[in-house]
Structure 1
Amino acid sequence: MSGLAKWVVLFLSVTLFLLGMLGNGFIVLVNGSSWVKSKRISLCDFIITNLALSRIVQLCILFSDFVTMIFFSKILNNVVFIQLADIFWTFTNHLSIWLATCLGVFYCLKIANFSHPTFLWLKWKVARVVVWMLLCGLLLSCGNAMSLIPQFKMYYVLCGADDSGNVTEHFRELKNEYEVIHVLGTLWNLLPLIVCLASYILLILSLGRHTRQMQQNRTSPSDPSTEAHKRAIKMVLSFLFLLLLYFLAYLLTSSHYFLSGTVLTKMISEVSAMFYPACHSFVLILGNSKLKQTFVELLWCKSGHLKPGSKERFSP
């Protein structure tokens, strides 16, 4: 890779890393301080706070891996380093996806309106459903990380074969099997992805139907309720775009064994993967009334425009 391309990709990664740390750190700071002061936290804030924490870890792992590839490539030959990074990344990535899924299900059951009996039962049991999803997501994240152990054993055998120079047809088959198993490990994320997409699609359909109903009944072209629903639809669509971009980048990173230009492909994929944990934090801030109000007040205080004791109200 040319020097110019390396520095451009490095600049993008540093920018996304700093934005992500600021956005997710702000969420953790605001919700954490509120939790400490009131000794209680809502289920929604609990999910958002843990989601922000997991994304901070994600960004740290992605950025450290990116810097290692550019400046300390020899460390990548250290088997222990690679395995520890894989375990932390696999667990954190899978848990983050499940937290985002739980948040999507929570929003869907709280906001959407459908008359199907199953949906109504889930809506009635929303807190219990989301808590069980969180527990299942935690267990599946541990299982996903533990599934790396057979891959590590195969990796040790392959490293031994490369060191001895005894590369037979058996070891070539073993290497192909290792690469296929490594890529198939992404299927662990298929279930939360399907659930997340289904919940947000249902939410978009419900919001769209409700918006059309209000447009037919409203008298003012700038009805606040209609505008709030339109903003909600835009935020959900932006989240879906970032999520699909992240999964595409994640699949490219996991499949770099079968692609040409592996180093460049992996670096670009990892930079693309940083967009989701970095940018979605600001989507969460704009979509949460408490976070948005605190964020705007902080900006106004910095610029010296906020008067003492004044507060601006935001719709959720």
Structure 2
Amino acid sequence: MTTLSDLKTLSEVAALASSLPAADEAAVTAARARQDSLTKPPGALGRLEELAIFMAGWQGSERPSIGLAQTLVFAGNHGICAKGVNPFPQEVTAQMVANFRNGGAAINQLCRASGADLDVVALDLDTPTADFSEGHAMTEAEVLDAMRRGAAAIPTSASVLILGEMGIGNSTVAAALAASAFGGEATNWVGRGTGSDAAGKALKAAVIEQGRTRHEGARGLDLLMAFGGREQAGICGAVIEARARRIPVILDGYICTAAVAPLFAADPGFLDHCIAGHQSAEPGHARLLSAMGKTPVLTLDMALGEGSGAALALGVLRAALECHNGMATFAEAQVSGG
């Protein structure tokens, strides 16, 4: 199968969508039949049943399981910060990466609680992307490099992938990607991020509109060149690689979901193996999930990023598989009604 390392242009990457593996329909049918035979009324476990069937389809097994659950947090810095869109300096990105690696962040605790390994992929933090309001954030070569690095970060043995991000200024990038992919005024997509006040949000919206005017013709994966950043491109590369290897993906909040908006814009099928771990408190996230047709597993008013909501959703996914695989059928339990 063709991989990202074989491709030289973003147009070639976009063309991959039609050749990537799909869910195994036979496994989906078998898993649904098993759900209907378990000692409960049909549909009584609601979303847990859907999640188990989803996992069955991508693992190609009536009884899917989770071996290695891998969390990847991608980190990058952004030239748009030169416009003052964030109240914190870009040095915080590297400082938080160190915190992740030292075990001190929320995502470390949530991964431990949910039974996930954690790796942090810092992408050229000393070389921020360019200011997207003045020109392209990245060249095509830079986008492809970040995508390949994202793909290469997935361990061989991973059976489910949890994705998150860290990058001062990347809530502005997320809003720019969402607005450009799905339309509407920038003010509809901008939120507080790491603590912007009303004036800060207005500034974000203004620079996003400048960027949208400059990059008016950008579509699909070209949005990554237009707006950046490296962590968004890394997430896209990881999503494509996971799809090629039939690894289900749990997306985190607004910034992570906006990161894959260029993939969705290129071909919605790119995200068939992805579920939304949670709905962020960022106001644009509900709109973004609706546009993508994704129903979040959790809604807990979180807006941290880091993969935190996706890591929590892993616990729900594990519970879904415990019920799916461990419950008795009506026949096995000798219970009438099956």
Bucket of the pairwise TM-score, normalised by the shorter protein: under 0.3
Larger Rg: 1
More strand by proportion, 1 or 2? 2
Q: TM-score, normalised by structure 1?
A: 0.25
Q: TM-score, normalised by structure 2?
A: 0.24
